[in-house]
Structure 1
Amino acid sequence: MQPGNPGQDPYGQQPNDPTAPQPPHDPYAPPPAAPYGQQPTSGQPYGQPAPGQPPYGQPPQDPYGAPQAPYGQQQPYGAPTYPNAGYPQAQGQNNTLGLVSMILGIASIPLVCCVYLGIPVGIAAVVTGYLAKQKVAQGQANNAGQAKAGLICGAVGVGLGILLLLLNIIGSFSLPTEP
């Protein structure tokens, strides 16, 4: 500030006073010009689309003039739609048997130690795994890996359960010891 003008900025700018009265706002006045002479990116006044662009709410068009369908609706000529676009979808998926088989098969291995509970759980895993593999072969399911894991883990659980049962039976017969 210059000593002679206490309210004047030395560069000719007026200080911003938030308590000063503001001019009334006219809602019908045109929008103010962009600062520094810049134009909006479309080169058009505010709210108007650029030439060749559809207004808001209109479906976009491809360069060849064919209108494109909004997302999720069938497009012409069998083009893929938005959900899972381009990925094949199995019809009538029934993946629960493979999942149940895998869960039972994994659970059968530690359950062998619990009063031989792993044997019936492993048998159930093998049966459901076999049924799941049949559904995969028929094309009704797509989780062949889970079915195979259930078959293998169930068979391991049954095998360990039978092995542990045999070891307990053999161990119950004690050899005579000499005094």
Structure 2
Amino acid sequence: MPPPPIGPDGPGQVPYGYPGMAPAHGYPGGGLQQPYPAGYPAGYGYGWPGIQPLPSNGMGTAALVCGILSTVGFLLWPVALVLGVLAVIFGAVGRGKAKRGEATNAGTALAGLICGAVGIVLVLGLFAFFIAVHR
């Protein structure tokens, strides 16, 4: 077993902490350890870049969900009509956000807009069918 290292103040004075840190008892100011000896400035650099905001993809996703539900469930025409209109609105807003760079799912928003429009057309076609049959 090797002998313990000799500290900068002589034998028996081994500083604790990380290597390169001066002992706490040698500094005035309440015994706080300093990462640099007194008189040396802290290092300068670029540092970490700021955290980028996450994309706001909620409108495009909501448009796709509402559009699919309105297209698949067009036989429940009141619900399908409302969901189709919401899908068209959410899809348009989602496309606008994607064009401004706030969202990354322009294709999802477009698919929701198209599915919502198809759902509205199916509901209107169902109305036309019922009107034609009951005349």
- The TM-score range, normalised by the shorter chain, is 0.5 to 0.7
Counterpart contact for 1:95–1:143, Cα < 8 Å: yes
Q: Which residue of structure 1 lines up, in the alignment, with residue 118 of structure 2?
A: 156
Using CA pairs under 8 Å that are at least 6 residues apart, name the structure with larger relative contact order, 1 or 2. Answer: 2
Deviations 1:144-166 (A, max 9, x none): 11101101100000001101111
Instruction: Answer with 1 or 2: which has the greater Rg.
Output: 1
Structure 1 counterpart of 2:59, which letter? L
> Closer, same or farther in 2 for the Cα pair 1:116/1:99, shift >3 Å?
same
Name structure 1 gaps, 5 residues minimum: 1-27, 29-75, 79-88, 174-179
Alignment of 1:92-111 (within 5 A): 92-111=54-73
Alignment of 1:83-162 (within 5 A): 91-162=53-124
| Root-mean-square deviation over aligned CA pairs | 2.6
Q: In structure 1, how many angstroms separate the alpha carbons of the residues matched to 2:74 and 2:126?
A: 8
Counterpart contact for 2:87–2:116, Cα < 8 Å: yes
Name structure 2 gaps, 5 residues minimum: 2-44
C-alpha deviation, 1:93, in angstroms: 1.1
Q: In structure 1, how many angstroms separate the alpha carbons of the residues matched to 2:118 and 2:52?
A: 31
Counterpart contact for 2:95–2:106, Cα < 8 Å: yes
C-alpha deviation, 1:92, in angstroms: 4.0
Counterpart contact for 2:70–2:80, Cα < 8 Å: yes
Q: In structure 2, how many angstroms separate the alpha carbons of the residues matched to 1:171 and 1:77?
A: 74
Instruction: Give structure 1 regions of 4+ aligned residues with deviation exceeding 2 angstroms.
Output: 89-92
Q: In structure 2, how many angstroms separate the alpha carbons of the residues matched to 1:117 and 1:108?
A: 7
Deviations 1:27-74 (A, max 9, x none): x8xxxxxxxxxxxxxxxxxxxxxxxxxxxxxxxxxxxxxxxxxxxxxx
C-alpha deviation, 1:129, in angstroms: 0.2
Identity %: 34
Structure 1 counterpart of 2:101, which letter? G
Counterpart contact for 1:105–1:153, Cα < 8 Å: yes
Structure 2 counterpart of 1:123, which letter? V
Structure 1 counterpart of 2:79, which letter? L
C-alpha deviation, 1:116, in angstroms: 4.0
Name the count of aligned residue pairs: 93
Alignment of 1:1-80 (within 5 A): none
Counterpart contact for 2:77–2:123, Cα < 8 Å: no
Q: Quick check: which one's helix share is greater?
A: 2
